């Protein structure tokens, strides 16, 4: 039977509608406090802000990638959560705006951008044709422009598909997604080099971009599951996103947890077996002064526990429990990013600064405000998706 779009709009008293202004207030208050902290310790603010920003950037870009995967591969799992993915992908322009503090603080964050460093370091002089501030900023503008255009057309054509049911639109979405996934892989690889790997410009890894992409996949599926678990509190939506869809989403989350773990172990084995001074030093920083225990925590929290939990078919069909695992993995993503970034600056141990805890709340609160606004602005189920009848069945 056909779905009535009016029944698929969020009720006025839906928890997500009530959460939107609260998220904005929490985000603005956290950012204001961090802004005060930046006046006294700008370097710490930028280091903390980078980790918090990368967390929400990973969720948004991961959702864009998962959305394109659905358009290419199809499946009822994607049809039921397309609006969540589209709304998250549509926040890319906001993330570009929130990237400005990193651009303005590039000289404080990145060794290669500090005045006078190139004259004293032959290795960095050799990389200066790529690692220089004008090119760094230009590449960032290009990345955000590409991601914004892809997300814009995916959202616009999705609305046209709902309105007309034209099969040609489905084909256009598939073709755009095929090329978009290639562009996503290239741009995210270079963005990972620019924004994270170049924090230690003498070190390099050919797997680093793939590792962050795997983490983005984990973050995207975890966030989508958590949001969907709240959405189905409205009965009309719960009839479309059911246990079968949550089971599929849980299985895909398990797959990306395994992909991320495989890439992380592969990078470690390649670097460790090579045992080259310019490569092994990156891991040595992350195994000293208490950072090794953070690494153990990531192994347990980001892989072992979620892997064991998501093997259970019963758990993946139990929405509340699956949502808890999903939220756990979002927090684990922050810990992993913290471990990737902060040892580049801190050799005194992993104890977080108070801005490390507030910046994810600040960026996330503002990001969630926009995300929830986009999600509530139209029916939360893409009724024109040709895979949707499978969901209804």
pLDDT of residue 90: 96
Q: How far is CA 84 from the centre of its chain?
A: 13
336's CB contacts (< 8 A; 6+ apart) are: 215, 298, 302
66 contacts 184 by C-beta, under 8 angstroms = no
pLDDT of residue 1: 47
Tell me which residue range forms the domain holding 99.
5-392
- What is the gyration radius of the CA atoms in the chain, in angstroms? 21
pTM of the model: 0.95
Q: What's the structural domain count of the chain?
A: 1
8-state DSSP, 131: S
pLDDT of residue 171: 94
Terminal C-alpha separation, the chain = 10
167 contacts 386 by C-beta, under 8 angstroms = yes
Count other Cβ atoms within 10 Å, centred on residue 178: 12
Tokens describing residue 174: 């598939």
CA distances from 384 to 86, 89, 254, 293, 372 (A): 14, 19, 28, 49, 21
CA distances from 163 to 5, 151, 285, 382 (A): 10, 19, 55, 10
User: 385: helix, coil or strand?
Assistant: coil
Report the alpha-carbon distance of residue 12 to residue 267 in Å, rounded: 48
Intervals of the chain under pLDDT 70: 1-4, 389-393
Count other Cβ atoms within 10 Å, centred on residue 46: 22
Report the alpha-carbon distance of residue 164 to residue 378 in Å, rounded: 15
Q: How far is CA 287 from the centre of its chain?
A: 26
pLDDT of residue 3: 66
* 200, 205, 208, 209: CA torsion to nearest 10: 100
pLDDT of residue 117: 84
Tokens describing residue 245: 């869809």
Q: How far is CA 41 from the centre of its chain?
A: 27
């Amino acid at each position: 039977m056909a779905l009535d779009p009016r029944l698929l709009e969020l009720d006025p008293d839906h928890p997500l509608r009530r959460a939107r202004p609260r998220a904005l207030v929490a985000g603005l208050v956290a950012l204001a406090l961090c802004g005060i902290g930046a006046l006294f310790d700008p370097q710490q603010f930028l280091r903390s802000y980078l980790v918090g920003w990368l967390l929400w950037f990973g969720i948004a870009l991961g959702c864009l990638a998962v959305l394109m995967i659905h358009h290419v591969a199809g499946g009822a799992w994607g049809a039921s959560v397309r609006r969540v993915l589209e709304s998250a992908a549509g926040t890319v322009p906001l993330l570009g705006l929130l990237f400005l503090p990193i651009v303005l603080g590039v000289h404080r964050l990145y060794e290669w951008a500090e005045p006078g460093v190139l004259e004293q370091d032959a290795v960095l002089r050799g990389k200066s044709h790529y690692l220089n501030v004008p090119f760094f900023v230009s590449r960032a503008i290009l990345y955000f422009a590409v991601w914004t255009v892809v997300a814009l057309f995916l959202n616009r054509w999705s609305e046209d598909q709902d309105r007309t049911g034209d099969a040609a639109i489905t084909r256009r979405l598939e073709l755009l997604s095929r090329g978009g996934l290639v562009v996503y892989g290239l741009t995210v690889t270079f963005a990972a080099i620019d924004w994270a790997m170049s924090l230690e410009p003498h070190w390099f890894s050919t797997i680093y971009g793939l590792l962050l992409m795997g983490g983005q996949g984990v973050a995207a599926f975890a966030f989508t599951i958590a949001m969907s678990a709240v959405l189905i509190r409205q009965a009309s939506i719960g009839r479309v996103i059911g246990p079968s869809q949550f089971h599929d989403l849980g299985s895909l989350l398990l797959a990306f947890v395994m992909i991320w773990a495989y890439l992380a172990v592969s990078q470690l084995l390649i670097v460790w077996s090579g045992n080259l001074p310019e490569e092994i030093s990156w891991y040595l920083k992350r195994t000293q002064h208490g950072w090794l225990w953070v690494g153990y925590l990531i192994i347990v929290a980001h892989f072992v526990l979620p892997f064991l939990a998501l093997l259970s078919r019963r758990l993946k069909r139990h929405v509340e429990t699956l949502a808890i695992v999903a939220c756990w993995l979002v927090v684990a993503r922050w810990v992993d990013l913290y471990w990737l970034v902060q040892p580049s600056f801190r050799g005194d141990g992993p104890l977080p600064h108070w801005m490390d805890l507030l910046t994810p709340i600040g960026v996330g609160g503002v990001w969630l405000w926009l995300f929830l606004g986009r999600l509530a602005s139209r029916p939360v189920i893409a009724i024109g998706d040709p895979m949707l009848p499978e969901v209804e069945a």
